[in-house]
A and B are shown apart, each in its own frame.
Chain A
Amino acid sequence: MPSFLDPAALMRIKSLELRAKVVVEGLWKGMHRSPYHGFSVEFSEYRAYVQGDDPRYIDWKVLARSDRTYIKKFEDETNLRCQLVIDHSKSMKFGSQGFTKADYAATLAATLASFLMKQGDAAGLTTFADGIEEHMPPRNRPGHLRRLITELERPAKAAGTSLELSVGQLADLLRKRGMICLITDLLAPIEHLERQLALLGAMGHDLVLFHLMDRAEIDFTFDKSAHFRDLESGTERFVDPHLARESYLQRLKAHRESIQAATDRHNVEYHFCPTDQPLEEVLFDFLSARQHRKSKIINHKS
């Protein structure tokens, strides 16, 4: 396994585009003749040309050879459509290592988009907090990546997180099937989300959930008593970390377990991403998981 770039060092690069490029290029070089590229189009069948078909798709070689007009039919006419759904709630503004979860999420999204578009796949972006904020449908056009990155760099507006509402709205927006990468800290009761995940799954979307957490959130590394202020609601609570840690960790564990269970139930690909985990590693995990999943599906079909 190649040595990956420390996220704290990576986040010091100011430009999000450059950050994404650094990660993707590093991964790309590392992969070389990697067997993983290619969820691109696959030839499906020929069919006779009928009036109204696009003449671009006429197989001219077959016409020259047999004087018949056939149209080359592919399994899917476009590449993979991936919708990156980013949590823009205020809780994402937390960070204990010099960068916030929102920074990490934006870099992760930019990296994914960059990687996908480099492969010829289409990437779209949706930001949400207590509802959908911005929505860019998946495309693979020159300049789209830049627009996507510009959108990612825009600061969050809303306060709270309403996964249920946001994902519900998303289901309305995404009519075509594709892959949905949900990047969130999931700081909301999972019960509300579960129903929406089931809906998206039923619609045929391929769901990937990136669960971001800061190290301070995972281990509760505070040691001084203080008034803890909720970034989303603004409410304050006096907490002595020495007393509260144990119950916090228990509850967090239960929360993560319930997420895990829910994702398993609804066939959602779940990635737990502490923000101190190198992005390449996340991406690598993601790709390998995809590959594993693909081979599973092929085996299942055969």
Chain B
Amino acid sequence: MSWLFPLYLAGAAAILAPILLHLRRRPPQDRVEFSSLLFLDAQTPVPVSKRRLENWLLLLLRCLALILLALMFSRPFWPSEQSATASASRATLILIDRSASMRREDLWQRAMAEAEKLVREAKITDRVAFAVFDRELKPLWTFDEDRQAPANRLTALKSRLEALSPTWAATHLDRALIAAVPSFDSSTATLQKRIHLISDLQEGAKLDALRSIAWPAEITLSLHRVEAAVQDNLSATLAARDTSDESARRADALVRLRLSNTRDSALRDFTLAWQNAPMAEAITAQLPPGASRILPAPPNATNATTLTLSGDKHDFDNRVFIAPPQPRTVRIHFLGKEATRDEASAPLYYLSRALQPTATLAPQLTADEKLPAQPADILFMVGNAPAEGVRDYLERGGFLVVAPSDASLLKSLGFDVTITPDTSDDYRMLAEVKTEHPLLKPFADPKLRDFTKLRFWKHRIIRDARTPARPSGLEILATFDNGHPAILSARLGKGTLIVLASGWHPADSQLALSTKFVPLLYGWLAAAGFSHDPAATLLVGDSLPLNAAQAQTITDPENKTHSLKLGETFTTSQLGLHKVQSAENTQIFAVNLSPEEGRVLPLEPAKLVEYGLKLSSSSEPQNESSTTDQRLTASDSEQRQHLWWWFLIGLLAVLLLETALAGRTRSALAS
């Protein structure tokens, strides 16, 4: 049997107290009245030599209670075999942080030195592996390699670390730790497992994923923090663009930045400027410690793509890259007369006014009674129009919106339907709208779901020729209040067909005049692959949003070109603008630093404990730390076995016996 706190065993020495108490007789308590002390001499109470133990059974119980108490506090346990062997040799995994924040000062060099020290300290019987991590874990030397050539580990560490430098990626400590657990393979099963984490352990390190796993009890984490001398830091990240300010038409005026300052920072003044811009156009202001502020970017006279923040020592997070505005051209064709563009009653009039250029889209609306030579991205038709080539267009991936007046077009597309005008005088409203359908996605927004003000004066009844109740092959997206379909859709080849039972122009309905029209059009544009939403901010480590259907060439910020084949993805590793060239167009993507990486204040180790990690202190010297390890393993065993409970039960039983016996003795004495 072993003890977790053997010092408490000394408490068993307390049994001396009851022994002495039992040795002590109790003459002074007894008083006898006697007629005269004439013939009696005073005597000293009971000489020591004459002492003898009284109530030995009671004494035995009391001593036993004290011994049990001492045993209980010393937390006994049966040492397991595992802990015995584990104390012999260990499996150590060294994780080195190489996220962007490690670029500060000489943190990377210190991290390498710390790793080297740990490898040197390891015994030859120990298993050592090491890996670096930022967003992902990258093993450099595995346990398998170490088992085969344990003597080479230091050389390997040196050579492999020298080839590396901190990246620009964020610190995903959670992913790294989760990925590190399986690297303890079967060869390390009997060893004591420990992960040495060499990192600046900044507040911005991600830990959330650790909640999703139960940390293995046998793996302890030892922290080796490398801290920068100066923790004060100003950081700039891209904030959401301001879309509310309609007057700011310039794309760069929409750019907003979030500037933050670390807590207790001595820094206040900062300057924000476009790269190479004159100082006069820079913003100079103050930011209190611990505060963060959203600022619009200064005027961009030089069309620069990099905003630079200055005012602090650590410049790794002081640049924000912004891709120049590059609206996508959408070719939209209206099958009808171009002359009607300015007629207030014509459908084209409303289309041309609804499809205005935005920061991300540049619609080009053409009108002709024929299909254009170069296929349009979206085709609109109202009434009867020649059907030649429409089927081909659709099958090649076109997007057609049609409000037919008869069934000829649909029949030519293969839908056996009849279309008859509704003859009732009353207007119709939309009754059922499938807002969850991708083609009606804008109506998923509750703000746009009120259809009560949208009236349809005229509509056509679209029916299946064979089963009049439902048009076959067409999916009903919305119906009128009389039950007839209002909007239908179908996939035809690669293309999409949308059939409207009523036109949007005022002769048919109020749709073009309603607030629903523009969202509906842009929803269809998005469905056709021309999203109006600005591209999501790309962070280092993200994949570029590429069209997998095309072969592309990527030029990274260092002007290296990468040719991608079909279906290949490109994961960014550099900050800056990435130029993606394909056969059709050229896109520029700005890749920025993760905003979390700028939060460089040290993370409390207690936070890691909250996530269930088992920490051991790294500041202790090696021999003490091994003692701590043993204690941790012992503590595990002790907690599993809970032997102290039995001692407690025994103690209570002895105390009960003692109480009963003492009570009986007392009553016997009294009687």
Query: 1/0 per residue B23-42: CB within 8 Å of A?
Result: 00101101111111111111
Interface size class of B (residues with CB under 8 A): 20 to 34
By beta carbon, the residue of chain B nearest A235 is B37
Complex interface: stretch among B43-51, B96-104, B528-536: B43-51
Q: A226-B27, A227-B27, A227-B28 are known contacts. Are A255 and B39 too (CB-CB below 8 A)? A: yes
B35 close to A94 (CB less than 8 A): yes
Minimum C-beta distance from B29 to chain A (A): 9
A237 close to B35 (CB less than 8 A): no
Checking A230, A238, A252 against B43 with a beta-carbon cut-off of 8 angstroms, the contacting residue is: A238
Task: Report Cα–Cα, A281/B41, bound state, in Å.
Answer: 35
A237 close to B30 (CB less than 8 A): no
Q: A225-B25, A238-B27, A252-B39 are known contacts. Are A231 and B33 too (CB-CB below 8 A)? A: yes
Checking A233, A236, A255 against B31 with a beta-carbon cut-off of 8 angstroms, the contacting residue is: A236
Checking A91, A185, A239 against B40 with a beta-carbon cut-off of 8 angstroms, the contacting residue is: A239
Q: A236-B31, A238-B27 are known contacts. Are A225 and B45 too (CB-CB below 8 A)? A: yes
Interface residues of B in 232-288 (CB under 8 A from A): none
Q: Cβ of A202: which chain B residues have Cβ within 8 Å of it?
A: none
B39 close to A251 (CB less than 8 A): yes
By beta carbon, the residue of chain A nearest B28 is A227
Interface residues of A in 212-236 (CB under 8 A from B): 214, 217, 222, 224-233, 235-236
Checking B27, B32, B45 against A229 with a beta-carbon cut-off of 8 angstroms, the contacting residue is: B32
Task: Report Cα–Cα, A101/B36, bound state, in Å.
Answer: 13
By beta carbon, the residue of chain A nearest B30 is A226
B43 close to A240 (CB less than 8 A): yes
A239 close to B42 (CB less than 8 A): yes
Interface size class of A (residues with CB under 8 A): 20 to 34
Task: Report Cα–Cα, A235/B30, bound state, in Å.
Answer: 15
Q: A225-B27, A243-B43 are known contacts. Are A237 and B37 too (CB-CB below 8 A)? A: yes
Checking B36, B39, B45 against A238 with a beta-carbon cut-off of 8 angstroms, the contacting residue is: B45
Q: A224-B30, A227-B30 are known contacts. Are A238 and B35 too (CB-CB below 8 A)? A: no
Task: Report Cα–Cα, A185/B25, bound state, in Å.
Answer: 34
Checking A187, A226, A239, A243 against B36 with a beta-carbon cut-off of 8 angstroms, the contacting residue is: A187
B42 close to A187 (CB less than 8 A): no
Say whether A244 faces chain B, with CB atoms less than 8 Å apart. Answer: yes
Checking B32, B42, B44 against A226 with a beta-carbon cut-off of 8 angstroms, the contacting residue is: B32
B27 close to A91 (CB less than 8 A): no
Minimum C-beta distance from B637 to chain A (A): 54
Query: 1/0 per residue A180-199: CB within 8 Å of B?
Result: 00000101100000000000
Most chain B beta-carbon contacts within 10 A, residue among A92, A227, A247: A227
Q: Cβ of B37: which chain A residues have Cβ within 8 Å of it?
A: 228, 230, 233, 235, 237
A94 close to B43 (CB less than 8 A): no
B32 close to A230 (CB less than 8 A): no
Task: Report Cα–Cα, A225/B32, bound state, in Å.
Answer: 9
Task: Report Cα–Cα, A29/B39, bound state, in Å.
Answer: 42
A-B contact count (CB 8 A): 85
Q: Cβ of B45: which chain A residues have Cβ within 8 Å of it?
A: 225, 238, 240
By beta carbon, the residue of chain A nearest B45 is A238
Task: Report Cα–Cα, A244/B45, bound state, in Å.
Answer: 12
Q: Cβ of A231: which chain B residues have Cβ within 8 Å of it?
A: 33-36
Q: Cβ of A247: which chain B residues have Cβ within 8 Å of it?
A: 39, 41
Q: Cβ of A286: which chain B residues have Cβ within 8 Å of it?
A: none
Q: Cβ of A235: which chain B residues have Cβ within 8 Å of it?
A: 37
B35 close to A217 (CB less than 8 A): yes
B39 close to A94 (CB less than 8 A): no
A187 close to B31 (CB less than 8 A): no
Say whether A248 faces chain B, with CB atoms less than 8 Å apart. Answer: yes
Q: Cβ of B35: which chain A residues have Cβ within 8 Å of it?
A: 91-94, 101, 185, 187, 214, 217, 230-232
A226 close to B46 (CB less than 8 A): no
By beta carbon, the residue of chain A nearest B38 is A187
Checking A185, A217, A240 against B46 with a beta-carbon cut-off of 8 angstroms, the contacting residue is: A240
Most chain A beta-carbon contacts within 10 A, residue among B28, B30, B34, B38: B34
Q: Cβ of A93: which chain B residues have Cβ within 8 Å of it?
A: 35
B40 close to A237 (CB less than 8 A): yes
Q: Cβ of A240: which chain B residues have Cβ within 8 Å of it?
A: 27, 43, 45-46
Q: A187-B38, A238-B27 are known contacts. Are A229 and B43 too (CB-CB below 8 A)? A: no
Task: Report Cα–Cα, A126/B364, bound state, in Å.
Answer: 149
A230 close to B46 (CB less than 8 A): no
Task: Report Cα–Cα, A225/B44, bound state, in Å.
Answer: 11
Query: 1/0 per residue B162-206: CB within 8 Å of A?
Result: 000000000000000000000000000000000000000000000
Task: Report Cα–Cα, A108/B418, bound state, in Å.
Answer: 148
A248 close to B39 (CB less than 8 A): yes
Q: Cβ of A227: which chain B residues have Cβ within 8 Å of it?
A: 27-28, 30-32
Minimum C-beta distance from B318 to chain A (A): 92
Interface residues of A in 33-79 (CB under 8 A from B): none
Q: Cβ of B28: which chain A residues have Cβ within 8 Å of it?
A: 227, 238
By beta carbon, the residue of chain A nearest B44 is A238
Minimum C-beta distance from B39 to chain A (A): 4
Task: Report Cα–Cα, A255/B39, bound state, in Å.
Answer: 9
Minimum C-beta distance from A138 to chain B (A): 29
Q: Cβ of B46: which chain A residues have Cβ within 8 Å of it?
A: 225, 240
Task: Report Cα–Cα, A225/B26, bound state, in Å.
Answer: 9
Query: 1/0 per residue A154-192: CB within 8 Å of B?
Result: 000000000000000000000000000000010110000
By beta carbon, the residue of chain A nearest B34 is A228
By beta carbon, the residue of chain B nearest A254 is B39
Minimum C-beta distance from A99 to chain B (A): 14
B31 close to A226 (CB less than 8 A): yes
Task: Report Cα–Cα, A93/B33, bound state, in Å.
Answer: 10
A91 close to B43 (CB less than 8 A): no
A225 close to B30 (CB less than 8 A): yes
Task: Report Cα–Cα, A158/B28, bound state, in Å.
Answer: 28
Task: Report Cα–Cα, A230/B39, bound state, in Å.
Answer: 11
B34 close to A248 (CB less than 8 A): no
Most chain A beta-carbon contacts within 10 A, residue among B27, B38, B45: B38
Task: Report Cα–Cα, A224/B45, bound state, in Å.
Answer: 12
Minimum C-beta distance from A254 to chain B (A): 9
B30 close to A239 (CB less than 8 A): no
Q: Cβ of A94: which chain B residues have Cβ within 8 Å of it?
A: 33-35
Q: A94-B33, A222-B32, A238-B27 are known contacts. Are A228 and B39 too (CB-CB below 8 A)? A: no
Q: Cβ of B38: which chain A residues have Cβ within 8 Å of it?
A: 187-188, 251, 255
CB-based closest 7 A-B pairs: A94-B35, A226-B30, A251-B39, A91-B35, A187-B36, A225-B27, A237-B42
Jot down 9 A-B pairs with beta carbons below 8 A, ordered by A: A227-B27, A228-B32, A237-B37, A237-B40, A238-B27, A238-B44, A239-B41, A239-B42, A240-B43
Other than A235-B37, A248-B39, give 17 A-B pairs with Cβ distance below 8 A: A91-B36, A94-B33, A222-B32, A224-B30, A225-B30, A228-B40, A230-B37, A237-B37, A237-B40, A238-B28, A238-B45, A239-B43, A240-B45, A240-B46, A244-B40, A247-B39, A251-B38
Instruction: Identify the A interface with B (CB < 8 A).
Output: 91-94, 101, 185, 187-188, 214, 217, 222, 224-233, 235-240, 243-244, 247-248, 251-252, 255
